Structure 1
């Protein structure tokens, strides 16, 4: 991994762990094992590097989700695979945690990839749910947009509840509850 990539990866990790204010250039350089001038050689400063890191985290989230969404199985099975894949519930979502960072949310450039990612995720889930409703897999009474929004909210809220309780089991219960609600709309054939 070259210096630029090490800087981005280190910033991603630090933003996830400490937030924007807690991610100092010194900490980034130490974690990346990079020299003092390297950050400014590759980036225009901390905001530019943070944007690259946030954008990379957002792209990774979308890529991993899309891999589940385009996998094999029924739509409900693919959504279930996405919701139940292994996650570090106590660490939280690397993108979702940024919504709680006032410095990220106050900066339109830093906020943009966060907002776009959750818009994409909600829209993508709504598309899948609409497809499942259209093909008869889910009942006609299911509202794809509302259900997609609820599923994203359950994931993000599950992280918050798990961190508050200090237990990943709380996150798993939230996902199980969402799946129970979703599978209640599966048409029996």
Structure 2
């Protein structure tokens, strides 16, 4: 090996060691601490199904969703959610929404985003549909309530109002204010 080749080899080796050193340590010589973000705690589920039962284990209702995750405050958020009561409860309602949040105490189901409640045996024995942006449900007590605008269709009749209380087991509904409607004979 001649002198020129030896100098070239030493130069290339020094360049390789130097580039490795630069890639290994941060500029300015200060060591960077790894990101202090702790891994997300909680759970994530695809296609979860939640069954609500009474003290004897009899099925009262079923909540299904496309996706569920536990939030930092321990609430559970469901996406693409539906709630259906068991036939044994005599509550013929199906309720769907884009998003639902189950409170930490698991008493309330807060629905939001295109909330639609339907029943083929609804009020006055006619197909009934309720639409609103947000709805709070207590599945165990069959109670649904909102302070938002509500669109209600009972057979051919249509009503709108602000705020609603629905007692699903008693098949009773109360619009709270600004009620207007269209009644076809």
Q: Would the TM-score normalized by the shorter structure come out above 0.5? A: no
Q: Which TM bucket (shorter chain)?
A: under 0.3
**TM-score normalised according to structure 2 size:** 0.25
Q: Which has the higher helix share?
A: 1
Structure 1 or 2, whichever has the larger Rg, is 2
Q: Which has the higher strand share?
A: 2
**TM-score normalised according to structure 1 size:** 0.24
